[in-house]
Amino acid sequence: MRRLWWCLFLLGLPMGNLSASELSLSSEIDRLIHANGQPEKFASAANDEEFLRRVYLDLAGRIPTHNETATFLNEKSPQKREKLIDDLLAGPDFPRQMAERLNIWLMERRGENDEWKKFLRSACEENQSWGEIVRRIIKPDDSNETTRGAAFFITQRLVSRGAMAPIDVPGLTRDVGRLFAGVDWQCAQCHDHLTVDDYYQEDFQGLHTIFEKVATRRGSKFPAIDEILMSAPQEFMSVFIQEPRTTPPRVPGGSEIPIPEFPKGEEYEVAPDRKKRIVGVPKFSPLRELANGLTTTENKLFSRNMANRLWWMMTGRGLVEPLDLHHTGNPATHPELLDLLASEFAAHNFDIKWLLREIGRSNTYQRSSQLPDESETPAPYEFASEKRLSAEQLFWSVLIATKEFDRLAEPGQSIEDVVAASKDLQTLRETFVDTFANPPTEPEIDFEPSVKAALYLMNGDGVHKLIAPKDGNLTHQLAKRSDAELTDELFLAILVRRPTDEERKDVQSYLAENEVRRESAIQNLIWALVSGTEFCLNH
Amino acid sequence: MPHPRCQIADHTLSRRRMLGALAGTAGGLACGGLLQPTFAKELQKSDKQMLLVWLDGGMSQLESWDPKPGTQFGGPYRSIPTSLPGVHLSELMPRLAKQMHRFSLVRSMRTEDPNHSSGVGKILRGHPKNRGVEYPFMGSAVAKLLGPTKSGLPPYVWVKPGNGGFISKHAGFLGAKYGAFALGNGKPPKNLVRLDSITVEDDLARNALREKFNRRYAKRHPPNNSEAHSYVYDVAQTLMKHSDLFDEATLSDRDRDRYGRTDLGKHTLLGRRLIEAGVRFVQVQSYGWDTHGDNFNAHASRVPKVDQALSALLEDLDERGLSERVLVVVMCEFGRTPRINGSVGRDHWPNAWSLAMTGCGIRPGTVIGETNADGTDIVGERYDIGALFHTWYHAIGIDPTTTEFMNGTQPLPIAHDEMQPIRELLS
């Protein structure tokens, strides 16, 4: 009996039956957020519908299907949220969505490549540590067919785009700093940063010199690079203080990499041969040193950068913003929390799933996004922030909302299978990316609605085809329902929630006015919800 | 002097917070937010508009606004007298010569940057002092300062050869939404026309439903995302109502001939129509002026296109009474060297070049400054682009000494704060 009580007690705990160290992070998150805020102003916990949609978008990259919604809402277990988080992280959607997200973060819409996709996908399927992923990007292994596409990160940035835009090694250097260390050293290329105390020119130059010795491999069928022998430190000069200086290669957040000296003729593992067009493989690989030095658990820039980005992904707000401007003059809003997230992330071998799970379990993540009081703009974390849906999230979600997925899916088919089997849907996916993504090199951080997207939703035929009545799709199903049933199902299917009383009245009076043309009216209702603000935000 | 590469935004504040600062009413998107509220209201009433003709690559001043015939570097073309006694233009500009009394020239431009990549940005930003932030291009700045007109059309439209789309980069620290709405090859944006399968009634009904649901959502959430989202639909619907702007069938043969059936001619004509329809700031772009080789033949073929399009534009703006409130500026990132290089070309020359302007209270028929006999240097006072930005802001009713941008909490001057307008140009 006593034992049973003990079990019930454990089940009743918000964290369930976790080990002590894991128990601490999500509750520590809440403790630190509480300590820096005004808890009496905090919004209440998100209701099940709000939580369900949010966690599906964050961890599955799409809204839940009708069945998934019903299952969760009918589930009575007090642990159902924790269980859903675990199920989604273990489910088949997670690798797809995480790979899409990493692709957007890392390539910033610079183009697509199948080998690169394969690399990201396998990394997310195997839940490779972030350290491992970055090592493969920085020092790609061309002998590994699954991961060699990682070189696309570098090769795509070394593409020359006409005489006005030559190969941009400084741009690549900048992006490595921004995306893997959270530091934008652009201004430090030519001088120590003017307004940021801890961005030095030697930091930039020390990283730049590594990429100056990288060449894209010509004629390769897959993205590949070669390293050119580095034998001397980089010379540079500030535009303000015209004194020549030198730096060996440097690791952001780490140390200098000494350049080893080899007797002449012994610098290479594989000697270059111009006649045979062999570039050669130097014994000293600055890329390997960089890959290893960057991804150590001691490298604070590395762990803080990704901890902050994963936190931003889940909460819609970086502890440090902009995400790529970590420095002493721009401290985190919650410095202790960032330190903790970063050190725990490192201690757990940069396990992305683990960190997402801990954040997802926190009350901070599970707070409502509805404003407690209309008149006041709340402070960060008093309520859940709205997040932009990526073009991909929108695409998968539209297929589910309009029940195009239900209509086409054979038993056991995933949404990816359905799209893979349809040329039209593949085209639609491309159109969505073209329409809703930012232009190349613009990070997708904020919600930036565009006239182009509005025109597409109004007058493009893609979404209209999904709304037109077809056996088994939402329009078709709703037409068979009573007005009251229709209203509930409409909102549940598209917005993953039941309508409010006001919305019920809105819908039902509109249906009553349009009784004679009910099918058009239903399509108008679906369109209005799909193209509305609520649908294109994760809140 | 800041290094040419060092121009990327320092992001002292995140863009998210910038957008947060823009919250407020829908007017916040158009105008308010970054300005003192009372001032913003006054500006919203403004009916001033602006059309910028940008000759990308750098037109030669010697083959256009500031000819030096018969001199060492003068080149083969003669100069011709104009409607303004004592003022001559290149013979490649016969139509504009007849209208010289309608517009004004500055022949004493001296700017700093001889590179295209950085120079274009510097001129279009008015080259303010480097404060570690990326300033907006003029179109974005005016879109911010004056907002859209009552027409509800996008405030900054860029008519250009090549691709269209929304070019957010022009907006700098103002935030993406002040970017350029670019009409590639003068073509309308995609999906401008309602599908045949949707009736007008259904279109109205579903948009009304969308707005109704949005309002309910906005009540329970912070307003800025909802407002931004509604705003783009409003602009999209306004554009749809103006789809005839892009319908070439609505153009008269006479207009097409007057402006010239060239890219520049067509785009300038579209620019006029966009101004008439109520776009706040139109930039008409012409590429290919970088004549390092064969400068004279290139200008013989290109300058007459400018001559034709601009003279038709001037006539039309005058005829329609628009010149009182539409400022027209014609410029490029720099001029071209007097020295003629080995390929019979002229190179980049920010040291002594010219630009033209008219309308909106700019005193017509004014010629500011002069170059020496060979055109190699400026005689007397010289002007950097900052002085011109002061002048143009004054012309469109914005006082740069009292108006500031706010980058988060950081106030920033809208034009170089050590420069002054050119008083002789302002009436």
Q: Which residue has the tokens 């991961």?
A: A147
pLDDT, one tens digit per residue, over B349-381 is 999 999 999 999 999 999 999 999 999 999 999
pLDDT, one tens digit per residue, over A61-97 is 999 999 999 999 999 999 999 999 999 999 999 999 9
| pLDDT at position B307 | 98
Q: Is A433 exposed, middle or buried (0-12, 13-18, 19+ CB in 10 A)?
A: middle
Nearest-CA distance from A123 to chain B in Å?
A: 31
- Whether the pLDDT of residue A2 is over 90: the answer is no
- Whether the pLDDT of residue A8 is over 60: the answer is no
- Whether the pLDDT of residue A166 is over 90: the answer is no
Half-sphere exposure of B68 (CA within 13 A, CB side): 21
* A184 interfaces chain B, CB cutoff of 8 Å: yes
Token couple for B57: 């690559």
> Considering only CB atoms, which chain B residues are within 8 Å of A468?
197
Total CB pairs under 8 A between chain A and B: 172
Question: What is the separation of C-alpha A75 from the centre of its chain, rounded to a whole number of angstroms?
Answer: 29
A48-59 and A93-107 helices cross at what angle (nearest 10)? 60
Residues within 8 A of B (CB atoms), A 351-380 only? 369-371, 374, 377
Mean pLDDT of B110-138: 91
**φ, ψ (nearest 5 deg) of residue A110:** -85, 5
Q: Is B192 exposed, middle or buried (0-12, 13-18, 19+ CB in 10 A)?
A: middle
Contact B15 A445 (CB under 8 A): yes
Partnered with residue A225 across adjacent β-strands are: A216
Least confident of A388-402, B167-181, B348-362: B167-181
Cis peptide before A499 (omega within 30 of 0): no
Between CA A188 and CA A192 the distance in angstroms is 5
Mean pLDDT of B408-426: 93
A80 C-beta neighbours (distance < 10 Å), count:
18
pLDDT, one tens digit per residue, over A336-388 is 999 999 999 999 999 999 999 999 999 999 999 998 666 666 788 999 999 99
* B188 interfaces chain A, CB cutoff of 8 Å: no
A512 C-beta neighbours (distance < 10 Å), count:
10
| pLDDT at position A228 | 94
- Whether the pLDDT of residue B17 is over 80: the answer is no
| pLDDT at position A379 | 82
Token couple for A511: 């249906």
Between CA A82 and CA B159 the distance in angstroms is 54
The confidence band for A131, taking pLDDT boundaries of 50, 70 and 90, is very high
Percentage of chain B modeled with pLDDT above 70:
89
B385 φ/ψ sector (left φ>0, alpha ψ -120 to 50, else beta): alpha
Mean pLDDT of B110-127: 93
pLDDT, one tens digit per residue, over A255-265 is 999 999 999 99
For chain B, what is the radius of gyration of the CA atoms? 22
pLDDT, one tens digit per residue, over A474-485 is 999 999 999 999
Question: Least CB-CB distance to B5: which of A189, A445, A539?
Answer: A189
* B209 interfaces chain A, CB cutoff of 8 Å: yes
- List C-alpha distances in Å: B426 to B329, B364, B381, B383, B422: 14, 9, 17, 15, 7
| pLDDT at position B133 | 85
Q: Is A22 exposed, middle or buried (0-12, 13-18, 19+ CB in 10 A)?
A: middle
- Is this prediction's ipTM beyond 0.85? yes
- Whether the pLDDT of residue B387 is over 50: the answer is yes
Residue of A nearest to B217 (CA): A534
Question: Least CB-CB distance to A448: which of B3, B132, B176?
Answer: B176
Mean pLDDT of B167-174: 88
| pLDDT at position A256 | 96
Please list, in sequence order, all residues whose beta carbon lies within 8 angstroms of the beta carbon of residue B216, skipping any fewer than 6 positions away. A500, A502, A503, A506
